[in-house]
Amino acid sequence: MAAWTELFRFSVPVGETLLRGTVMFLAIYAIARVVGKREAGAHSLTDLLVVVLVAEAAAPGLAGESKGLLDSLLLIVTIFAWSVAIDALAYRWPALAPLLKSRPVPLIRDGQLNQRALRREFMQHEELMAELRMHGVTDVKDVARAYLEPSGMISIIRADRAEPDQPAKPPVVG
């Protein structure tokens, strides 16, 4: 039988948990910023990182693998604190925002492809055309602006200012 008092004690020193949480969050955040926004999907990089790390941090406490719940809770609080801190830093000091947050990347301007941006994002012409078709656009010349958004999605402003089609959603199975 488990000693109930052990559930509410730290099994790892508090400083170590804070340091581990900080180092892992910042390291993964930095690596993810280098990898690029196309890998994030429909969520921001920070959102994706927080969800994955919180799930991983909560697992030992949920499964009973750690001696105390407080270790997992402290790690989760550390992850959320860094997420909020990064958002606050980018908001409070806009000069830091380009370093901390992704910005939209212009892929098309006035019907002209931005080849440099496509190369930098490792996006092939065929991939961009597939995205345009999902928005009901078949010719690049019909696009005033197209951006690769921080979420990894592509937004389109048509040259005729008409609303582009919304990308098709996968069918619901069930």
Residue-by-residue pLDDT tens, the chain, 174 positions: 556 777 777 877 888 888 878 887 887 778 777 665 554 455 566 777 788 887 887 777 655 566 666 777 888 888 888 888 888 999 999 999 888 888 899 999 999 999 999 998 889 999 999 999 998 999 999 999 999 988 788 999 998 877 766 665 555 555
The structure tokens listed for 14 are: 């508090």
Q: How is domain 105-158 classified at the CATH fold level?
A: CRO Repressor (3.30.240)
Is 151 within 8 Å of 103 (Cβ atoms)? no
- Domain boundaries defined on the chain: 4-100, 105-158
Which of these, 47, 39, 48, 59, lies nearest to 122 by C-alpha position?
A: 39
What does DSSP assign to residue 11?
S
pTM above 0.85, yes or no: no
pLDDT for 39 equals 47
CA distance 73 to 8: 10
